[in-house]
């Protein structure tokens, strides 16, 4: 196995690096400097620092990024800002990892289907039709996989689960 950098570009986004032995992980939360952007230089330094800590060159590492799209019913401004941040992250990853074959995009429904077990699923109460509470379901899956009952940052949880998806599919 090779090291994986998994990125959740959500509002509370985060980056998780899993080492080649899958024994440990390093985490970095995004720091927003405005509603439209993240502190991209700080995030770049954090990712490069994490890569150096596992003693690999960036060319050895696979990046897996959640492939986000507009959310139906979201305000135009929120959708634009979300897309802007996703664009910043994509540019950053392509700068760090010049080999496009080592940058993989995965849709949320794909990794969730692979990672979530029926026992993890939490439903939101709804009079017409219950829907999955994705944050609580991911928290349950994270706690089941890691045994960590303390982590509460949804970006780190999702990024970790995306890295677990990468492991499960043999990246």
136 part of a folded domain: no
What SS3 state is found at 140?
A: helix
8 Å CB contact between 14 and 25:
no
8 Å CB contact between 61 and 4:
yes
CATH of the domain at 39: 3.30.420.40
Summarised one tens digit per residue, pLDDT across range 71-126 is 667 777 777 777 777 888 888 888 888 888 999 999 999 999 999 999 999 998 87
pTM of the predicted model as reported, rounded to 2 decimal places = 0.86
- Supply angle C-alpha 32, 50, 105, rounded to 5: 70
**What domain range includes position 39?**
4-107+153-168
Structurally, how many domains does the chain consist of? 1
144 part of a folded domain: no
Summarised one tens digit per residue, pLDDT across range 32-62 is 555 556 777 778 888 888 888 776 666 678 9
120 part of a folded domain: no
86 part of a folded domain: yes
């Amino acid at each position: 196995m090779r090291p994986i950098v998994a990125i959740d570009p959500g509002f509370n986004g985060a980056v998780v690096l899993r080492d080649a032995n899958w024994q440990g992980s390093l985490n970095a939360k995004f720091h927003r400097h405005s509603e439209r952007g993240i502190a991209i230089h700080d995030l770049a330094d954090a990712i490069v620092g994490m890569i150096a800590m596992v003693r690999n060159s960036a060319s050895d590492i696979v990046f897996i990024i959640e492939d986000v799209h507009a959310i139906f019913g979201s305000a135009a401004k929120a959708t634009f800002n979300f897309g802007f941040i996703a664009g910043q992250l994509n540019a950053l990853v392509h700068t760090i990892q010049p080999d496009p074959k080592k940058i993989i995009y995965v849709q949320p429904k794909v990794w969730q289907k692979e990672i979530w077990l029926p026992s993890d699923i939490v439903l939101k109460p709804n009079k017409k039709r219950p829907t999955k509470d994705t944050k609580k379901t991911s928290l349950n899956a994270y706690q089941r996989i890691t045994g960590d009952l303390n982590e509460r940052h949804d970006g780190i949880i999702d990024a970790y689960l995306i890295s677990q998806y990468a492991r499960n599919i043999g990246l």
